[in-house]
Amino acid sequence: MKIRVCRQPLFHPLLGIALLMNCTALAQGPDRSTPPALGPVPSYTVPSIQRFVLSNGLPVVLIEKHEVPIVQVNLLVRAGSVMEPVGKSGLANMVAAMMTEGAGNRGALALSDAIDYLGATITSTSGQHAMAVRLHTPVAQLDSALALYADIVLRPIFASQELARKRKERLTALLQWRNEPRVLSTVRFNRLLYGENHPYGRVAIGNEASLNSLTREDCVKFHADWYRANNATLIVVGDVAPAVLQQKLETALGKWGPGTASALEWPAVEQVSKRGIFVVDKPGAPQTEIRLGRIGVPRTTPDYFAITVMNTILGGSFTSRLNNNLREQHGYTYGAGSSFDFRPLPGPFLAYAAVQTAVTDKALTEFINELKRIREPVSEQELARAKNYVALSYPAEFQTVGQIAGQLEELVMFDLPDSYFNTYVKNILAVKREDVQRVARQYIDPDRIAIVLVGDSKTIEGPVSALKLGPTVHETIDDVLGKAPVLDTKE
């Protein structure tokens, strides 16, 4: 015979009170009339920066990070496309690409296999004023990885067959660009601001004539001229101590000699003096690529932090005025923005979007409206939101050893103080409303801007001309990129 035992839940007076209070709170609901108050922006401190110099004079900048057994080594060389000889545009880009296509006694495939075997990566890149060779490796393989790294830095082969392959890749890219409105607008905008004689107005990978003129000897000479110990800085971040690192670097790079770099002068550029529109015809394009802007300021400007905050309000974040206007309010585009490209020489200020063809004129009107409006005083609320956006996102730039090394590249390139990272947030939060208005009025002038539109000219030219924003110039893709390159189909 089975006996069933019935268990009645016990009730406690305090439990009843708690349940009653909870039900009352649920009935009232949360207060959503105002957003919760933000606390102070938390501080972020970058680990101390250490410096030493190898016996050959090569400076080394080190940040120790011992949490993970990996090391990042970035060699920053003060060379780039601005150093290219006349008629050799694309040479710096080619040299950087070729350096990992065979070095020392290894060809391209053997070098790639050796790097992969170590679980490392080595890349070589070029810019306008700087080139870099970057190594990411486990600490356990640092000696072997540095040996390969030294071969790439000091002893690249520049094999003729690899040069031919890389040349064909770039010529193919030039062909593909003819169907890329985004690229067409960027190329035309840069040339419009700086002209063909200034390195900022040229295409980084070169053109058909310059690419076909590049030889192995050109690559060897460019490398020998600029890749010198007294024209470079080595940046190291990771799980390694200074004394151990210095010994390893002496073994790998200590015999690298100095050189004599030539003094360079670049053509003077003139600021945009009036508003003009250049329409590049892309027949049948469903969208129009819009670029508006003028020449900005160099990275060393004392207005850097004020400009950063101002541009965050204008177009430097998803909640910026440009994106909110053109995307959220009008639905003209998936995204609109603006930027100041900070370089050793004044880089461009640019506002941009890809909009539906039928609303090109309306979108252009809104761009002009926002460029005018940013010159007026901003609200304290908008200023605080922009400053918090920049300040709170800043620590995300220091999550990995690669990111930290990249930040150190900027520090070295522009000779910023070692305290720069730890005072960055403070300097951003110190920007005031009058600072924002001052730099907006000084550096943004909607009456003196260059405008580039890449799209279906039959559809957009009439409505755009009716806006009477300035004289309109009609151009073709050939005007922007030249005639389509002829590829050698024998290979």
DSSP-assigned letters across all residues of 430-473 = T--HHHHHHHHHHH--TTS-EEEEEE-HHHHHHHHHHTT-S-EE
CB-facing half-sphere around the CA of 426: CA atoms within 13 A? 8
pTM of the model: 0.89
Contacts of 2 (CB under 8 A, 6+ apart): none
Question: Has residue 313 been placed in a domain?
Answer: yes
Same domain, 290 and 351: yes
Q: Strand pairing partners for 77?
A: 131, 232
Question: Has residue 144 been placed in a domain?
Answer: yes
Same domain, 138 and 183: yes
Same domain, 247 and 127: yes
Question: Has residue 42 been placed in a domain?
Answer: no
Q: What is the pLDDT of residue 18?
A: 55
Boundary residue ending a domain (253, 287, 321): 253
Q: Is the dihedral of CA 325, 327, 331, 332 positive or negative?
A: positive
Same domain, 168 and 289: no
DSSP secondary-structure letter at 156?
B
Same domain, 69 and 210: yes
Question: Has residue 2 been placed in a domain?
Answer: no
Question: Has residue 361 been placed in a domain?
Answer: yes
Cα torsion for 132, 137, 141, 144, to the nearest 10°? -20
Burial 406-435 (b: 16+ CB within 10 A, else e): bbbbbbbbbebeeeebbebbeebbebeeeb
Question: Has residue 262 been placed in a domain?
Answer: no
Name the residue among 102, 152, 157, 101 with its Cα closest to residue 131.
152
Q: What's the number of domains the chain is made of?
A: 2
Burial 26-63 (b: 16+ CB within 10 A, else e): eeeeeeeeeeeeeeebeebebeebeeeebeeebbbbbb
Same domain, 225 and 318: no
Burial 238-276 (b: 16+ CB within 10 A, else e): bbbeeeebbebbeebbbebeeeeeeeeeeeebeebeebb
> How far does the chain reach from its first CA to its final CA, in angstroms?
94
Q: Phi and psi of 75, rounded to 5°?
A: -95, 120
Question: Has residue 260 been placed in a domain?
Answer: no
Same domain, 214 and 341: no
How many residues can be counted in the chain?
A: 491
Same domain, 422 and 477: yes
Q: Are 320 and 314 in contact (CB under 8 A)?
A: yes
Between strands 70-77 and 348-356, the pairing is unpaired
Contacts of 14 (CB under 8 A, 6+ apart): none
Question: Has residue 111 been placed in a domain?
Answer: yes
Q: Is the dihedral of CA 162, 163, 164, 166 positive or negative?
A: positive
Same domain, 153 and 302: no
CATH code, domain carrying 237: 3.30.830.10
Map tokens 């207005």 to a residue. 303
Question: Residue 87 is part of which domain span?
Answer: 50-253
Q: Is the dihedral of CA 175, 177, 178, 184 positive or negative?
A: negative
Q: What is the pLDDT of residue 394?
A: 95
- pLDDT 10s per residue in the chain (491 long)? 444 444 544 445 555 555 555 555 555 667 777 877 767 777 778 899 999 999 999 999 999 999 999 999 999 999 999 999 989 999 999 999 999 999 999 999 999 999 999 999 999 999 999 999 999 999 999 999 999 999 999 999 999 999 999 999 999 999 999 999 999 999 999 999 999 889 999 999 999 999 999 999 999 999 999 999 999 999 999 999 999 999 999 999 999 999 887 777 888 889 999 999 999 999 999 999 999 999 999 999 999 999 999 999 999 999 999 999 999 999 999 999 999 999 999 999 999 999 999 999 999 999 999 999 999 999 999 999 999 999 999 999 999 999 999 999 999 999 999 999 999 999 999 999 999 999 999 999 999 999 999 999 999 999 999 999 999 999 999 999 999 998 876 55
Same domain, 354 and 467: yes
Q: Is 235 helix (H, G, I), strand (E, B) or coil?
A: strand
Same domain, 220 and 294: no
CA distances from 384 to 38, 309, 367 (A): 11, 10, 23
Same domain, 107 and 59: yes
Q: Are 418 and 436 in contact (CB under 8 A)?
A: no
Q: Is 254 helix (H, G, I), strand (E, B) or coil?
A: coil
CA–CA dist 99, 81 (Å, integer): 16
CA–CA dist 425, 305 (Å, integer): 10
CA–CA dist 473, 461 (Å, integer): 10
Q: What is the pLDDT of residue 153?
A: 98
Structure tokens at 208: 């058909």
